Amino acid sequence: MGAQLRVYKQKISSAQTTKKITKAMELIAASRIQKAMARVRASSPFARAVTQAVSAVATYSNVDHPLTREPETIRRSAVVVFSSDRGLAGAFNSQILREAMEVGELIRSQGSEPVYYLVGRKAVGYFQFRGIKAAAQWTGDTDTPKFKTAEEIAATLLEAFNRDAADGGVDELHLSTTAS
C-alpha cells in the first residue's frame, strides 16, 4: 500500500512540474505575441500610406504597365502564405493555413491554378505533409524578419508576375497573412 501511495505522489508531483513548465511557456508566448502586435501597430501608418499611394497610382495613372492593368484571363494565381517558424502561437498558424487552402480552392473553382509560395516552417511542414508542391519557400526569419528576405520574396514574386503564365509565371497574387 505504501508503494502505491509513493507512485501516486510521484505522478502528482510530475503533473505539477509539467503544469509549471507549461505556464512558463504560455507566459513567454504571450509576451512574444504582445511584442509582435506592438510591431504591427507601429507599422500601420506606413502600411496605410503605401496602400493609399499604390491605390492612387493604380486609379489615376494612365501609364500602361503590367502592375497597373488587369490581365484578360487568369490562368495561374500565386498564393503567398506567411506563417511562423515556431509554434506556441495559438491558432495563428492553423487559421492562416486554413485561409490559404480556402483561397486555393476558390482559385481552382474559378478555373485557374494556384501556385503556393511559403514563408515560415509551419507552412512548409503543412504543405510537405500533404504533398502539395510549392514554387518557393523561405524559413528561419519570421521571429525577426530581415529586409534582405523581404527583398528576396518580392523579387521572386515580381519575376513570376512578369513571366507569362504559360512559362510558369502567375497572373495575380494573393497574400495569406492573418485570418479574417
Q: What is the pLDDT along the chain (180 residues), one digit of tens a residue?
A: 677 888 888 988 999 999 999 888 888 878 877 887 888 788 888 888 888 887 887 777 777 777 777 778 889 999 999 988 887 666 888 899 999 999 999 999 999 999 999 999 999 999 999 999 999 999 988 777 888 998 999 999 999 998 887 888 898 999 887 644
pTM over 0.75? The answer is no
Q: Which CATH architecture has domain 76-176?
A: 3-Layer(aba) Sandwich (3.40)
Return the domain boundaries, the chain: 1-65, 76-176
Edge-to-edge, what's the strand order for the sheet holding 76-82? 134-138, 113-119, 76-82, 172-176
103-106 long-range CB contacts below 8 Å, 24 or more apart?
A: 103/79, 103/174, 103/176, 104/79
CA distances from 168 to 2, 53, 85, 102, 161 (A): 71, 30, 28, 22, 9
